[in-house]
Chain A
Amino acid sequence: MAKRKGSYAGKFLRVDLSTGKVEKQDLDLDFAHKYIGGRGFGSRFLYDEVPPEVAPFDPANRLIFTPGALFGTAVPAASRTTATAKSPTTGMHGDGHASGRWGAMLKSAGYDMLILQGAAPKPVYLWVDNEKVEIRDAGSLWGKTTMETHQALQESLRDREVGTLCIGPAGEKKVRLASIFCDGITGTFARTGLGAVMGSKNLKAVATRGTRDIGIADVAAFKKAYQEYLQVISVDPYVPPATKYGTCRFMYHRVKFGIHGAKNWRLGDFDWKPLDPEVFRSDYQIKASSCPMCPVRCRREYRIPAGKYAGTATKMEWETIARSMTCGVNDPEAVIYFSHLCNQYGLDIEGVGDTIAFAMECYEKGLLNDQDTEGLPLPFGDSDVFMEMTRKIAFREGLGDLLAEGSLRAARKIGKGAEQFAMQVKGSEMSAADPRGMPVRAVSYATSTRGSDHLRSNPYVEELITPEEGLQFFGSAEAADIFHGLQGKGRLLAWSENLVTIGDLLGLCKFAYYRSATLTYLRKKGVELATRFYNACNGTRVSEEEMLEAGERAFNIEKAFNVREGAGREKDIIPERFVKEKLIGSGPSGGAVVDRQKFDLILDEYYGARGWNEKTGLQKRETLERLGLKDIAEDLARRKRLG
């Protein structure tokens, strides 16, 4: 079979689970080159098809899967697929991004996008086998864990290579912290509760087999870009720790800066030594591997050899460790087991960890009592309680039913001021590290279009630029001053949001392309090579500026979706704890709070850089029109939501 010249498969697949209707639509290449793929396709279709009157669990909500534009090619670390829906966590734009073969299978089957709408009357799974598309009974799969579901599909379809998406018990029960898992536990569409949307549609899984090739238009240009990519990562000191420890490496940074956010984001210091990356590497690591086509190799799998969790083996990332510390847990075996439970039940580790920490603080403060917890005490640091609450959330048992709503909704039901302990932005729980002492990071959590998120931007650019680069690229040398700088920070943040969005359009890993030790390496990988790979694969002549603008366009569509839902500047905030309570600790951020005045100054500059109204945070007509989004500008104008 001749290879297709270009990285697009050429069709969209739409399945209505209510009616069983299957539609295939040709991909318009003008649309493709404007929105690129991945997050660009997903955000545009979500905006067009899910208006404010559609609730997240309404069958009319869409669940859209879009492999990145370069997924399926041989581009290194191009293995990410985006899932998009209105989020049951935030009530706004929701998306998640996962690695795994499923996205490549979808493209090899002939589709650049899978749009799911409606809701099946009983549990089903979708079987996409190249041209053949079938809705099948999933009665025997309902109730199974993620890995059990993946394996059952492989067996029943008699294909060990089949790609799968599935939810676990948590998604079935519409836990708002539920995720969608790819190829067993290979990848996770973790955030914004998309597993619950899938559950609301009675869709247990999607199995996909594709056998077509995706071709490359300009092989010579592709090879040259590939060699240059390998050259950059061979000299970037960001890479060796990733290859050695996986994402667990971030512990060392958190330790030195004292920004753990332990015990529900109160403590900068924490007894971390039992969780040293070297402990995980030497005592528990059984496999170091990579996502498809990635030379960085930062995936890690761990196995607990003995003790009460003996035999447990799972993949685990840094955020599992971080969120365990949020609950005061520093037993490495408990951390691995927590990852295992979330992976099998189909839960968002960050959301669950922070929500349990919220409950622990409510218990500590007397807002939850033994009657609320059915006699189960909720002290910080108790790993047995940590596991039991994870299970209860997954199955909506007892207090778990309340916490399954996420920390903000749970806090509103508890009342008595509990909301101050819900560490979330736009309803989505915090991730990564404590922002106190580092103002632009606090703002980055606030401006993320899917709620608190450290992967929506790269404010860490402030750590790797020189003052001269700060002046050249962001208009002020202060942009390079982590602790005291203000000028240039808003521009840096806006640029970094556009930058990392490129990765989500193309399906490139953030760690392989959008983190580096120098701005030169970062721009080389994240802008220049990403664009050259796209052009080499598709025979296009997209400029680097146009690729950054494509990132800006997608970000603006998501923002417009949220604006249409009613969100303005008042939603671009962070938890009050960061503003009012000093971080307890001895590191550089110890004693710091987020200075509200500095926060607002950076946010003002950010809105200015984005071309949004600084007072309201709403988008201006000219900005949307510059990005080719005139129809969205007119929609917002009709709703009186333009800035």
Chain B
Amino acid sequence: MNVHLKLYPPLSDAAGAVEISLGVKEKATLEDVVEALVARFGNGMRRHLFDTESRIIPSWAVFLNQTIVPFNQPGALKVPVKEKDEVSFILNIAGG
């Protein structure tokens, strides 16, 4: 199935696009979306999503349709996605 991804910097730069359609397996979770994203765009994408110890960077968040899922919350990556869901990745750091 396909999910619709919206990407903000630096992921949009790594992907070369701000919106993409991404194929993932049936009954996929956000973790599968992350893995598919890295598989498609390689290390240029991986270096922004994982730290130097290969842990997912907790300050990423996604808006799954209109619901925010911060990656620093327990079970965040196990949240299921459905066909045609819109998944917006945003680095959840304010501070300006």
Contacts and interface: CB of A to CB of B under 8 A. Distances in A.
B65 interface: no
A480 B72 contact: yes
B67 to A, nearest CB: 8
A10 B95 CA distance: 35
A318 B95 CA distance: 10
B55 to A, nearest CB: 8
Contacts of B10: 237, 240-241, 244
A463 B70 contact: yes
Contact of B96 (A247, A257, A521): A247
B58 A466 contact: yes
Contact of B91 (A237, A454, A465, A481): A237
Contacts of A241: 8-10, 91
Contact of A249 (B9, B61, B66, B72): B9
A253 B92 contact: yes
Interface in B46-96: 47-49, 51-53, 57-61, 63, 66, 68, 70, 72-74, 88, 90-96
The 5 closest A-B pairs by CB, nearest first: A250-B96, A240-B10, A464-B59, A241-B9, A318-B96
Given A240-B10, A432-B96, A463-B61, 9 more contacts: A235-B47, A237-B91, A250-B95, A250-B96, A253-B92, A253-B93, A256-B63, A463-B72, A521-B51
Interface in B8-43: 8-10, 13
A319 interface: yes
A465 B58 contact: yes
16 contacts: A237-B48, A240-B10, A244-B9, A247-B96, A250-B95, A253-B94, A256-B88, A318-B96, A432-B96, A454-B96, A460-B94, A460-B95, A464-B59, A467-B72, A480-B72, A517-B93
A322 B96 contact: yes
Interface in A243-298: 244-245, 247, 249-250, 252-254, 256-257
Contacts of B48: 237, 240
B74 A467 contact: yes
A562 interface: no
A518 interface: yes
Main secondary structure of the interface of B (DSSP, over half): loop
Interface of A: 235, 237-238, 240-241, 244-245, 247, 249-250, 252-254, 256-257, 317-319, 322, 432-433, 454, 458, 460, 463-467, 480-482, 510-511, 515-518, 520-521, 586, 588
B92 A463 contact: yes
A235 B51 contact: yes
A464 B96 contact: no
Nearest to A321: B96
A247 B10 CA distance: 14
A257 B8 CA distance: 14
B89 to A, nearest CB: 10
Contacts of A432: 94-96
A586 B66 CA distance: 9
Given A237-B10, A240-B13, A250 B57 contact: no
A579 B16 CA distance: 42
A256 B66 CA distance: 9
